[in-house]
Amino acid sequence: MRERLLKVLRKLSESLIAVVIGLLGGAFLMILYGYDPWLAYRALFTGAFGDLSGIFETLAFATPLIMTALTFAVGVRAGLFNIGAEGQMYLGAMGAVMIGGALSLPPGIHLVAATLFGMLLGALWSLPVSALKIYRGVHEVVSTIMLNWVAFWLVMYLITYHFAEPGRAERAVPAQETARYQIIGASLTTVIFVVIGFALLTYFIIWRTTAGYELRLVGYNPEAAQYAGISSVKATYLSFFIGGLAAGLAGASQVLGRPPSWTVYATMGNLLNLGFEGIGVSLIGRNHPIGIIFAAIFYGGLVHGGRFMEFEVGVASELVRAINGIIIIALSIPEIISLIGRIVRRRRE
């Protein structure tokens, strides 16, 4: 117990040091371009966390990132680099449109069906990756990148030619009233509770079940897992399936739980890059479901609060993104070093 507490404290201290380094790096960049870092950071954090409306909006930005980060994190725990959350998220959004927007069902049932179908499509989109990995040895990074683009153009085609809102070909039909999560405040809806619940369920599966233990052992030491009779095939399928469900929920949350549009655009503008941003959030959260929740909220604060740096202090939008990038990179470094160490140890063994 004492060793575990010390380990947690060490990781927290590393993260705090990384935050300070990231903030100092961003401050240096602002000074270089003639901005006041104190005013800029005050605008950022006040805008993101200064009042209830700001907190709600920050949580709304964090909601899909919790899920896309979880997709990457579960893969890492199994020794895999699943960067396919982007494409799986597109399919999840499309599934939510198919059921939530194009079908009429009774209230309650409609919302649940649309959410589950979006999650299922995300999971199904991940299965070819796991099959290629297991039976043909195709590296998951290659196959997920390829399928991300296939998903992008497939969903764009479906929206444009089959599920476009009448009179508005640039977007899909919006989710019907019976398939929308209740608004809490700003653009935050009750889907946040579903997302957090799924993250906690994933934690339970990975750390408190036999299947989760086997998955982690395969990722940490494949040779020991094989010696113990643990199936790497099962662990691979399980990790991609859970990750696909999470990414599918991320996409569904943006259709069923993100006003005011309640839909997805043909260009995927309201989804674009959320899957890739989830990788950074996962690294900040040390690839742990609980850590990811807090990391996503912090990242959501940077995204939402960054707009106040532009409006109130006049910091250029490009510079705001650069500053956020510096902070994210600084926070990701401890986990990147840990991942590299694990890879080196596995190769030596």
Closest CA to 288 of 15, 6, 1, 3: 15
Share of residues in the chain with pLDDT > 90 (%)? 72
Closest CA to 273 of 312, 311, 328, 316: 328
Per-residue pLDDT of 76-125, as tens digits, reads 999 999 999 999 999 999 999 999 999 999 999 999 999 999 999 999 99
Round to whole Å and give the CA distance between 287 and 256: 27
Per domain, the residue ranges of the chain are 56-276
Closest CA to 249 of 210, 281, 202, 203: 202
| Average pLDDT over all residues of the chain | 91
Round to whole Å and give the CA distance between 328 and 305: 14
- Could you tell me if 79 and 220 are in contact, meaning their C-beta atoms sit under 8 angstroms apart? yes
Per-residue pLDDT of 268-313, as tens digits, reads 989 999 999 999 999 889 899 999 999 999 999 999 999 999 889 8
Per-residue pLDDT of 43-78, as tens digits, reads 999 999 999 999 999 999 999 999 999 999 999 999
- What is the DSSP secondary-structure string of 120-159? HHHHHHHHHHHHHHHHH---HHHHHHHHHHHHHHHHHHHH
